[in-house]
Amino acid sequence: MTTIAQASLSRRLAVLSLAGFAASTFAQSNSSYEPQRGQAGKDVIWIPTPDETVTRMLQMAEVKPTDRVFDLGSGDGKIAIAAAREFGARATGLEYNPDMVGLSSRRAQQAGVADKVQFRQADIFQADFSSATVVTMYLLPALNLRLRPLLFKMAPGTRVVSHSFTMGDWTPDETARAGYGDVYLWHIPANASGNWKLSGTGLPDTTLALAQRYQVLSGDAGFGELRASLVRPRIVGAQIAFGLRDPKGQLWQFEGQVAGDRITGTATRPGQPGVPFEARRAGDASPIVPTTAAAEQDASAFAASTAR
């Protein structure tokens, strides 16, 4: 005769067996998932990026083992995996589709880079990717425009690479044609706008008035009543350079680094050794990128124009 304890044990074993069968069936189903070219996503359709395009994106960003790469809308994971496998970087893929996340994780395991790559199910506009030194993406122009204000909150020098689509009126620093699409690279610039007091060079009472739109820098210097435009000013990440002709007509070359309200570096003039200089900002910097509201308006206008 079957005891009550034996019957209870049998029922528990049956339940565990059914649960194990269900988990096994789900795992088999999930592991067999294969995306279809052109399938709909949250805001985009999925089109795989050609291998040669992926390689060129990472080359242009000069990815190194010390980098932290975030791929926004990572799809099948190939960009993040390539960053780890070919360039030795640590990489994170942010993807809204959980099936794609599972697929990417399996592919990272197969590629032998699971210790360097992770994939997370996330909305790229809600996720935190502020630790990135390199950001990659294959999104749509309207999404790129929405991302611009978020990107400009990142550390100066962060490299941003986009496959096929631009960032509106933010001119790229470098472009390439690889595979069937264009590749665009930008560096997040420091904000050097505002009024500065220059010291350390021996030049008398020198001030700088700098204006900046994205990474395009302009401005002039003041020596009392004399004002002179800067010569070939430029900024790449936190690195700033410009020429300056002093009241005696000598052309100085300045190269330095922007760190908050301070610029430090070296100034040289023909036939003379370089001297250290410092500039301090007086007052506030000006915005160098449109506000979030303006970017969203641009994105909405673009979406409306392409829907016609």
Q: What SS3 string covers the chain?
A: CCCHHHHHHHHHHHHHHHHHHHHHHHHHHHHCCCCCCCCECCCCECCCCCHHHHHHHHHHCCCCCCCEEEEECCCCCHHHHHHHHHHCCEEEEEECCHHHHHHHHHHHHHHCCCCCEEEEECCCCCCCCCCCCEEEECCCHHHHHHHHHHHCCCCCCCEEEEECCCECCECCCEEEEECCEEEEEEECCCCCCEEEEEECCCCCCEEEEEEEECCEEEEEEEECCEEEECEEEEEECCEEEEEEECCCCCEEEEEEEEECCEEEEEEECCCCCCEEEEEEEECCCCCCCCCHHHHHHHHHHHHHHHHC
Which residues, 6+ apart, have CB-to-CB distance to 134 below 8 Å? 58, 61, 63, 67, 68, 69, 70, 83, 89, 158, 159, 160, 161
Q: What percentage of residues in the chain have a pLDDT greater than 90?
A: 75
**Does pLDDT of 25 surpass 50?**
no
pTM comes to 0.82
Give the tens place of pLDDT for each residue, 123-150: 999 999 999 999 999 999 999 999 999 9
The whole-number pLDDT of residue 204 equals: 86
The whole-number pLDDT of residue 14 equals: 44
What would the mean pLDDT of 225-252 be, rounded to a whole number? 97
Handedness of CA 219, 265, 240, 150 (dihedral sign): negative
Give the tens place of pLDDT for each residue, 173-192: 999 999 888 999 999 999 99
Give the tens place of pLDDT for each residue, 72-113: 999 999 999 999 999 999 999 999 999 999 999 999 999 999
The whole-number pLDDT of residue 164 equals: 94
Mean pLDDT of the chain: 87
The whole-number pLDDT of residue 305 equals: 52
Q: How many angstroms from the chain centroid is the CA of residue 67?
A: 12
Give the tens place of pLDDT for each residue, 151-166: 999 999 999 999 999 9
268, 252 in Cβ contact below 8 A?
yes
Weakest mean pLDDT among 158-162, 200-204, 292-296: 292-296
Q: What are the residue boundaries of the structural domains of the chain, listed by start? A: 51-187, 194-282
Among 3.40.50.720, 3.40.50.150, 3.30.70.1400, 3.30.70.240, what is the CATH number of 51-187?
3.40.50.150
How far is Cα 275 from Cα 4, in angstroms, rounded to an integer?
A: 92
Q: Which fold has domain 194-282?
A: Lipocalin (2.40.128)
The whole-number pLDDT of residue 163 equals: 96
Give the tens place of pLDDT for each residue, 36-75: 565 456 666 667 889 999 999 999 999 999 999 999 999 9
The whole-number pLDDT of residue 32 equals: 75
